Amino acid sequence: MRDLMNPDPPERRLRLPLHVRLREHLLLEPLLPFARLILGTLRDLAPIIAVIAVFQLAVLRQPFPDIEKIVIGLAFVMLGLALFVKGLEMGLFPLGEGLAQDFSRKGSLFWLLFFAFALGCGTTVAEPALIAVADEAARTAADVGAIENSDSGRAAYAFGLRYTVAFAVGLGITLGVFRILKGWPVHWLIIGGYVLVMCLTFFAPAEIIGIAYDSGGVTTSTITVPLVTALGVGLSTMIRGRNPLIDGFGLIAFASLTPIIFVLIYGMVI
Amino acid sequence: MELLEHIGLTELGTLRDIAPLAILVLFFQVVVLRKRPATSLRRLSVGGIYVVLGLGLFLVGLEQALFPLGKTMAAQLTDPAFLKLAPGAVAIWTDYIWVYVFAAAIGFSTTIAEPALMAVADKAASVSGGTISVWGLRIAVALGVSAGVALGTIRIVTGIPLHWLIMAGYMIVIVQTLFASRTIIPLAYDSGGVTTSTVTVPLVAALGLGLAANVPGRSTLIDGFGLIALASVFPIIAVLAYAQISQARAGRARRAPASPGQGVSNTKEGL
């Protein structure tokens, strides 16, 4: 993949006029892998489209409303996701993975934990699925009248939700990194977390419970998983006597659990 | 024109969403490590433009397509005319059978095709030393997600409180953990988080909200959420169960040398 993006030797490039080089960088150079990425997002969408098509044709047997709008929208989803992933692969992923390795080698516990926290927070804020679901939660809460039904009211609610989740994921990753360093078994911490979730559920308002439980599964996808996995595997490769296959995992599990706890608390506070 | 304006506004919003991550990574690179980044600045900035553009387009498409798809499917599948209810009759939960089938189908098909799961399944196969096969694990997780989403829709229709189901799920996970081998546990826990992809999450969320809006007597805020939560707990159960079953089978095959075929063929499948 990397080779395809860089097909020309640098000498040849320097001879080309500036506008040609510019065009090459912005459009042509990534074109080939990009087509593959579009196909990749199509593969994500294909099962959904297939199931819905079967249901429309065989079960419901009625015309789908607004089909043009949906088709355009799906094209946006595919193109957008492909661009997004492409952009991540060009810049943020190699940089983040490099950082994760550097920090696991650096040996400063403070900076390592701080980096883990910041990485969890930063990736979660940018996570597309979370942005979408937080907006939808705000709209739902506004429709029912739980919050003020205005643009600013909804925006504030969605913002609060996302930053609560981001803080929680940051904390979860930090805890997970600490666990890898100490070699604690992952299941005692997770089971402890489950117990805490159950206790908090009894005190949390009913409106927040569904959103809180969902926020655990929403947070860990496109950006968070690759970067966090790089951190975990990098760490357990560095520490002697650890098996990256066993000790590198478990970070995502923490990142899926802590948001539930913190969103439940968020619901109790506001 | 309205669409273009909407895209423009969304793009502006994504700048704000990406900024913290970009600032952070640069801060650690330049201030803390004081090292030149491995990637050139040009690649980094072009990549940044792609990320912002792509995220914005994705969010607009989501609002235009994925949310309406989920909500329309929920509305159509709960339409009294589709349910063929007698006039004046009130639907009971078994009338909504197609909703559950739809939910299960979406859960299964999207999980089987999920790239993150393929990566996890590969690692699980190598951790287990061949007792777990890649395809077996993928099918197990897909069945888990499918059961989770379907159960979630049953819950929305019947109005059972979400936390009872989640707690029951947690209980099963805890009991399974006590008997599981130590190598598989972190992997199984992680599989809960990775199985729900960026495309699936909004669709499933919209399905739940649409259901709660259309089934009489349900509140969107209290009943509409929870599908993703159940779709994250059930894969953990499925992976632990699958690992236990395949271990038991491998153990039995070892104890009974007369029929070693099963354990061995399993390993081949995995590779």
Give yes or no for residue A244 having a pLDDT over 50: yes
Give yes or no for residue A245 having a pLDDT over 90: no
Give yes or no for residue A73 having a pLDDT over 70: yes
Give yes or no for residue B256 having a pLDDT over 60: yes
Give yes or no for residue A12 having a pLDDT over 60: no
Nearest CA of chain B to the CA of A95: how many Å?
A: 7
* ipTM summary value: 0.82
DSSP 3-state of B131: coil
State the amino acid at position B208 in one-letter form: G
Give yes or no for residue B170 having a pLDDT over 80: yes
Give yes or no for residue A264 having a pLDDT over 90: yes
DSSP 3-state of B159: coil
The verdict on a CB contact (< 8 Å) between A136 and B196 is no
Q: Is B52 on the interface with A (CB under 8 A)?
A: yes
Q: According to the model, what pLDDT value does residue A195 have?
A: 92
Mean pLDDT for A224-239 is 78
Residues 243-262 of chain B with CB under 8 A from chain A are none
Q: According to the model, what pLDDT value does residue A25 have?
A: 56
Mean pLDDT for A238-263 is 81
Contact indicator for A140, A161 with CB cutoff of 8 Å: no
Which is more confident, B57 or A151?
A: B57
Which is more confident, A41 or B71?
A: B71
Which is more confident, B15 or B260?
A: B15
Q: Is A196 on the interface with B (CB under 8 A)?
A: no
Residues 185-244 of chain B with CB under 8 A from chain A are 185-187, 189-190, 192-194, 196-203, 205-206, 209, 219-229, 231-232
Q: How many CA atoms lie within 13 A of B250 on its CB side?
A: 17
Residues 135-164 of chain B with CB under 8 A from chain A are 161-163
Mean pLDDT for B238-265 is 71
Nearest CA of chain A to the CA of B27: how many Å?
A: 10
Of B49, B105, B198, the CB nearest to A81: B198
User: Would residue B197 be called left, alpha or beta, if left means φ above 0 and alpha means ψ between -120 and 50 degrees?
Assistant: beta
For chain B, the distance separating the N- and C-terminal CA atoms, rounded to the nearest angstrom, is 53
Split at pLDDT 50, 70, 90, the class of A29 is low
Nearest CA of chain A to the CA of B111: how many Å?
A: 9
- The secondary structure of residue B31, as a DSSP letter, is I
Split at pLDDT 50, 70, 90, the class of A28 is low
Mean pLDDT for A107-126 is 88
Q: What is the pTM of this model?
A: 0.82
Mean pLDDT for A43-49 is 82
Q: What are phi and psi of B182, to 5 degrees?
A: -65, -25
Tens-digit pLDDT profile for residues B13-68: 888 888 888 888 888 888 877 777 666 778 888 888 888 888 888 888 888 888 88
Share of chain B above pLDDT 90, in %: 14
Domain boundaries, chain B: 1-62, 78-255
Which is more confident, B4 or A173?
A: A173
Q: According to the model, what pLDDT value does residue B32 have?
A: 79
Q: According to the model, what pLDDT value does residue B103 have?
A: 92
Residues 66-95 of chain A with CB under 8 A from chain B are 66, 69-92, 94-95
Contact indicator for A119, A228 with CB cutoff of 8 Å: yes
Which is more confident, A137 or A12?
A: A137
Residue B260 corresponds to which tokens in the numbers above? 């070693």
Q: Which of B13, B65, B28 is nearest to A121 (CA)?
A: B28
Q: Which long-range contacts (CB under 8 A, 24 or more apart) does B87-96 make?
A: B90/B216, B91/B215, B91/B216, B93/B154, B93/B157, B93/B158, B96/B153, B96/B157, B96/B215
Tens-digit pLDDT profile for residues B111-153: 887 777 777 777 777 767 777 788 888 888 899 999 999 999 9
CB atoms within 10 A of CB A240: 5
Q: According to the model, what pLDDT value does residue B267 have?
A: 41
For the ranges A68-82, B97-111, B188-202, the lowest mean pLDDT is seen at B188-202
Contact indicator for B239, B137 with CB cutoff of 8 Å: yes
Split at pLDDT 50, 70, 90, the class of B270 is very low
Give me the sign of the Cα torsion angle B34, B39, B45, B49: negative
Of the ranges A82-86, A144-148, A158-162, which is most confident?
Answer: A158-162
Residue A1 corresponds to which tokens in the numbers above? 């993949």
Q: Which of A84, A100, A96, A92 is nearest to A34 (CA)?
A: A84
Q: According to the model, what pLDDT value does residue B214 have?
A: 87
- The secondary structure of residue B96, as a DSSP letter, is G
Mean pLDDT for A138-142 is 87
CB atoms within 10 A of CB B150: 24
Which runs of consecutive H residues, i.e. helices, occur in B128-199?
134-158, 162-179, 184-194
Helix axes A128-144, A206-218, angle to 10 degrees: 170
* Residues from chain B contacting residue A172 (CB–CB below 8 Å): none
Mean pLDDT of chain A: 81
- Give the DSSP H or E segment for A269: helix A251-269
Q: According to the model, what pLDDT value does residue A69 have?
A: 86
Q: According to the model, what pLDDT value does residue B261 have?
A: 44
Contact indicator for B115, B198 with CB cutoff of 8 Å: no
Give yes or no for residue A173 having a pLDDT over 50: yes
* Residues from chain A contacting residue B55 (CB–CB below 8 Å): 80, 84, 126, 128, 131
Q: According to the model, what pLDDT value does residue A35 have?
A: 77
Give yes or no for residue A262 having a pLDDT over 90: yes
Which is more confident, A78 or B196?
A: A78
Share of chain A above pLDDT 70, in %: 86
Residue A10 corresponds to which tokens in the numbers above? 């640098």
Of A186, A218, A223, the CB nearest to B185: A186
Split at pLDDT 50, 70, 90, the class of B269 is very low
- The secondary structure of residue B129, as a DSSP letter, is T
Give yes or no for residue B271 having a pLDDT over 60: no
